[in-house]
Structure 1
Amino acid sequence: MTRRLYDEDAYCSVFKATVLSCHPCDKGYEVVLDQSAFFPEGGGQPSDPGTLNGIPVNDVQMVDNVIHHYLSQPLPVDSIVTGALDFDVRFSRMQKHTGEHIVSGLVFQQYGYVNCGFHLGSEDVTLDFDGELTREQLDEIETKANRIIWANVDVTAGYPSPEELATLSYRSKLPIDGPVRIVTIDGCDVCACCAPHVAKTGEIGALKLLDTIRYKGGVRIHMQCGEDALLDYRDRYRQTAAIASMLSVKQRDALSAVKRLSVHCEELERELKQTQLQLAVALAEHVPSTDSPTCLFLDCRAPEAVRKAAATLSVRCQGPCAVFAGTDAEGYRFVSMGEASMLLLERMKAELSARGGGNAEAVQGSVMAARSQIEAFFRNMLM
């Protein structure tokens, strides 16, 4: 068994250890020490980053109570090495993990919901609960969690005896064999946990519950703590300030201004679609009546405008005709109506590699060809 220095002192960032074994493996080299401050991956938390004798530790895993360190270079067996953690990362994870315990403890106390999932990711922290929570309930939990942080209460960790454990009420996701490490946050939470935590809640600084989604019959909450909560707030503040400046309103009025702008944009979009429809029909009406094959190109790509224009064109043109919308680079969508539409589609498939389908009254499809090629095809058509 490896002596777990992180159990004894979560703030230990530099340590000495003896190399007990070093073997090549698919991850490079697997190194076992007599003691280690590196927390191995587990419980929803990644392993600690850092170095052994200056060599980056790429991964840390616990196997049968032995901590395995994975490096790209070997270390001599029986040598004394210096381990150094990236403590900025370690401390950030300590803040977040303790923050998760506070939130999970409060949710369990108030609503009886169990934390059934936890992941400490690179972007944020996610917490899964087996029941749904409203935004108002989450706001209440968030306020209480921050008050516990401001109260700067003690966070302790230890291994109760089997007799003590039998009388203790604590949260635990899974049955645990052997000694159980209990993390206690005074007046808030008692939970089985193997990870390093801050010594006092005030070290978390701040806690913010972000987005939520329904998940497996419950809820998934995204959360930030500590400096990451500050950076997240700073980014959101800057974005809100920029939006307010663009709309020439105060920040507190940004949401209502965006809503007004959204309504205005919807009105303009409806007007634009109507105008595009009218223009498409007008362009089709200005095509001279003819028996010759005819094609009309529109700048507008709205499907309804293309269909209306095709219907109008089919009245004016007795021969095969079609309306196209698109660009040479992206290709063209087309609609053809009238008695010759199906025959036109078959010819376009054969000569322009067009794709599409329809019936005797109307066809539609797409073609990857330049406008000049399509126009030449219609000029040279012999029906």
Structure 2
Amino acid sequence: MATQKLYETDAYVQEFNAAVLSCTPQGEAFAVVLDRTAFFPEGGGQPCDLGTLGGAKVLDVRTDGETVTHFTDAPLPVGQTVGGCLDWARRLDAMQQHTGEHILSGALHRLFGAENVGFHIGTPYVRMDTSIPLTAAQLAQAEAAANAAVRADTPVRCYVPDAEALAATEYRSKKEIDGAVRLVEAGGDRCACCGTHLARTGEVGLIKIISAQHYKVGMRLAVACGQRAYDAVSAAWADCEAAGRALSSPVGSLAPALARLQSGEAALKQRLAALQNALADSYAANAIPGQPTVLWADGADGDGLRRIAAAVAEKTGAVCCAAAPGGQGLAYALVGGSAGDVRPLCKALNAAFAGRGGGKPAFCQGSLAAADFTQLCTFIHHYGQE
């Protein structure tokens, strides 16, 4: 049973009437075949349409190439005519993404010889895989060319040429196709495609490459078109404005402001390290040889706690625990000095005070959720006497 595919000749059909040719239970759903349909089945990287048929919801749409099968949540009467209604927001989004992908893929191919070897309209972005690696500058050039094609607002043409015309026509295709080939021309690109597309390039609105990473021998791009591109740019701009307020710098000057912040942070880290080294030396100078030590080092970070504990343990030859607020509540660093493996003590601390941590025989680090400094001192001194 060949289904008349209304979406192939008019992608803007949103409502239609059709005769129900068959309705077969399929698990909890019903497989419905109509004599004609505007519902696009999943294929070619484009998701299927959703909507309603009669009083039933359309859950999925598939095709074997000839017959289009709709999977609904309720049965439909065979032999009767039902009305179909597409989820138009979903279809329009798919058309924007798919048409935009054609335009961008065409630009990448014309400019750099890149082939589109993978395409999927996912959420929240379109995934595009290229056959070759591309630089950031090349991607920016292709994006600019694609958006120029969008602004030109030229017609998008979908057609099936005869065999003679097809043989004389150059077009992009991911694979060899036998028989009739449906071509889509958009923004200077010509490609074999079965999907639904906009009538004019201007309806795409905007094409934006969100991210790019090396993948296999080429690149994997995340791309947004139309409303998705607007939403992505709007969200990114809001983030930039919020960052600008925090940095006291306008959008457009965030990079130098961030560089200044990072430079200041690096200087502060150096000063903190110097202070923590001085504090470690001071604690070590006053440590009692042979005696386990528990020290309070409020303000020290994890590296500072390690430095302090190591300096004191080296002086005393005994276990040293340096602690400060942090982690789950109380952060600590254990160094054994010549006292041996501190991992059993670390394990005992974690068990006694709902802690997390671990390390090597000579050094362990972690945090405790259920202990204050007094309890920590008592536990370690008691543990050391066992």
Q: Which range, TM-score by smaller chain?
A: 0.7 to 0.9
372, 376, 379: which is aligned to 1:377? 379
Alignment gaps of 5+ in structure 2? none
Residue equivalent to 2:93: 92
Distance 1:151 1:373 in 2: 73
2:329–2:367 Cα contact (<8 Å) kept: no
Distance 2:290 2:101 in 1: 75
Letter in 2 for 1:229: A
Could you tell me which residue of structure 1 aligns to residue 35 of structure 2?
Answer: 34
Equivalent-residue separation in structure 2 for 1:145 and 1:311 (angstroms): 60
The alignment yields a C-alpha RMSD, in angstroms, of: 2.8
- CA-to-partner distance for each residue in 1:206-242, whole Å, 9 max, x for gaps? 2222321111111122222222222222222222233
**What code does the residue aligned with 1:296 have?**
L
Q: Is the 8 A contact 2:327 2:367 kept in 1?
A: no
Question: Which residue pairs with 1:296 in the alignment?
Answer: 295
Compared CA separation, residues 76 and 309, structure 1 to 2 (3 A): same
Mapped to 1, the partners of 2:350 and 2:236 lie a distance apart of 51
Alignment check: 8 A CA contact 2:115 2:130 kept: yes
Q: TM-score, normalised by structure 1?
A: 0.87
CA contact (8 A) 2:276 2:307 kept: no
Q: 1:228 aligns to what SS in structure 2?
A: helix
TM-score, normalised on structure 2? 0.87
Distance 1:351 1:246 in 2: 40
Change in Cα spacing, 1:336 to 1:259, as seen in structure 2 (3 Å) is closer
1: CA distance, partners of 2:138 / 2:318: 68
Work out the CA distance in 2 between the residues paired with 1:155 and 1:351.
70
Number of residue-to-residue matches in the alignment: 378
Question: Structure 2: how far apart are the matches of 1:118 and 1:327?
Answer: 46
Q: What pairs up with 1:267-278 in 2 under 5 angstroms?
A: 267-278=267-278
Provide the rounded CA distance (Å) in 2 between the counterparts of 1:267 and 1:323: 25
1:249, 1:367 → 2: CA distance?
Answer: 37
Judged with a 3 Å threshold, the aligned counterparts in structure 2 of structure 1 residues 28 and 278 are, in CA distance, closer, same or farther, namely farther
Q: Distance in 2 between matches of 1:201 and 1:328?
A: 54
Q: Rate the CA distance shift 1:57–1:293 in 2: closer, same or farther, 3 A.
A: same
* Larger mean Cα displacement after TM superposition, 362-371 or 33-42: 362-371
Q: Summarize the Cα distance change of 1:24–1:269 in structure 2 as closer, same or farther, 3 Å threshold.
A: farther
Query: How far, CA to CA, are the matches of 1:130 and 1:165 in structure 2?
Result: 25
Corresponding residue for 1:336? 335
**CA distance, structure 2, for counterparts of residue 273 and residue 116 of structure 1:** 51
The residue number in structure 1 matching 2:282 is 282
C-alpha distance in 2 between matches for 1:205 and 1:173: 26
Would you say the 8 A contact 1:281–1:305 is kept in 2?
no
Letter in 2 for 1:377: F
Q: Which amino acid aligns with 1:71?
A: T
Unmatched 5+ residue regions in structure 1?
A: none
Q: Structure 1 residues 358, 212: CA separation in 2 closer, same or farther (over 3 Å shift)?
A: closer
